């Protein structure tokens, strides 16, 4: 009857970042694009993928899918905003190599398929296939720790971002 008097369970925030693909994880400073490597958009990491299946790096919600399908904006439960940028200079490919599997407002978690990407199309267009994950609202970040680099499998934990 008086539900408002009941104690609310504390909200469990998942602040973990996950691998978006099987491949080789590198720090963002090694991405061959100065906008990312110099952290102009924020801190994060990248994976050079072995396959074109790209998964969610977080548990949260999709905020936007870029019209050119090369990037997806997401938000973690702790308020941090994440940009998944698929490939380098791939906006000019007008979405052709990207089959996006989520839409604005979609809930995502570890293991949610975000996109199927034609990696051969990207490389034949002379572009890099780096799957870049960037925290774009760094002003809200208390700490960001990348806990591993090197060979990685889909859904492996790669770091923690606290707000």
Residues annotated catalytic, as ranges: 85
Tokens encoding 132: 């870049």
DSSP H or E run through 122? helix 119-124
Residue 55, H or E segment:
strand 53-55
Whose tokens are 């949260």? That residue is: 60
- Per-residue burial over 57-94, b = 16 or more CB atoms within 10 Å of its CB, e = otherwise: bbbbbbeebbeebbbbbbbbebebbbbbbbbbebbebe
* Alpha carbons 136 and 39: distance in angstroms, whole number: 9
């Amino acid at each position: 009857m008086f539900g408002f008097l009941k104690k609310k369970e504390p909200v469990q925030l998942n602040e973990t970042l996950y691998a978006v693909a099987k491949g080789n994880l590198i720090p963002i400073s090694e991405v061959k694009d100065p906008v990312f490597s110099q952290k102009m958009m924020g801190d994060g990491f990248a994976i050079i993928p072995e396959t074109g299946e790209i998964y969610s790096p977080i548990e949260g919600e999709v905020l936007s899918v870029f019209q050119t399908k090369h990037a997806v904006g997401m938000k973690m439960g702790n308020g941090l905003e994440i940009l998944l940028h698929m490939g380098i200079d791939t906006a000019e490919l007008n979405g052709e190599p990207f089959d996006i599997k989520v839409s604005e407002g979609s809930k995502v978690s570890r293991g949610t398929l975000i996109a199927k990407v034609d990696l051969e199309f990207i490389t034949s267009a002379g572009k890099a296939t780096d799957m870049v994950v960037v925290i774009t609202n760094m002003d809200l970040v208390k700490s960001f720790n990348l806990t591993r680099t090197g060979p990685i499998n889909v859904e492996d934990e790669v770091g923690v971002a606290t707000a």
